Structure 1
Amino acid sequence: MALRFIGIDPETGDGNCPAVWVDETTEGGPELILQGWLADEGTQAECAKDSPKPDTEAVIRVPARMVPLIRKACDAAERSQLR
């Protein structure tokens, strides 16, 4: 697996923070990899009303200030699909 690092939360100071990568090697096409804060039980329960979560998934939070990084990751994933 070769992940392309896109960036971390721009307001971090110690490197342990939300981050974004793109995996361009997945069989079904590029995938975004997001690291975020684990959502609390109340948030997870609210999300489960719309989309129940299997054990292989997690509900995470990332700060809105990371939107530019997520857009950059989306653009990178789309470009690699066109190759």
Structure 2
Amino acid sequence: MPLRFIGIDPNTGDHESPTVWVDEEEQELVLQGWKPGPELEAECAAFRVPGHAAGIPEHEAVVRIPARMVSVIREACDALERTERLR
């Protein structure tokens, strides 16, 4: 899976690096973020809407991404839309 690096948290220090990539082949965003605390993970696991079962499946994860990365996530979405149009 060749990933295309889009951006990293502009406030990244030596020990943290929320990051956004695009997998153009799979047409997916790939996000690296902070692990949530137990309270947030429990809240997400309990969330229910139609089509969304309670719990977090073993093959999924909850991550936190800082709001200051919105422009990086937008850029990744735009990159995926461009590659989709080229298909």
Q: TM-score, normalised by structure 1?
A: 0.89
Partner of 1:74: 77
In structure 1, how many angstroms separate the alpha carbons of the residues matched to 2:41 and 2:12?
Answer: 25
Q: Which moved more, 1:7-16 or 1:61-70?
A: 7-16
Mapping 1:1-83, distance limit 5 Å? 1-14=1-14, 16-26=16-26, 30-50=27-47, 51=52, 52-83=55-86
Identity of aligned residues (%): 57
Q: TM-score, normalised by structure 2?
A: 0.85
**Residues 7, 44 of structure 1: alpha-carbon distance in 2 compared, 3 angstrom cutoff:** same
Q: How many correspondences in the alignment?
A: 80
Larger radius of gyration: 2
Higher strand share: 1
Amino acid aligned to 2:73: I
Please tell me the root mean square deviation across aligned C-alpha atoms, in Å. Answer: 1.3
Consecutive unaligned residues in structure 1, runs of 5 or more: none
In structure 1, how many angstroms separate the alpha carbons of the residues matched to 2:36 and 2:16?
Answer: 16
SS of equivalent to 1:32: strand
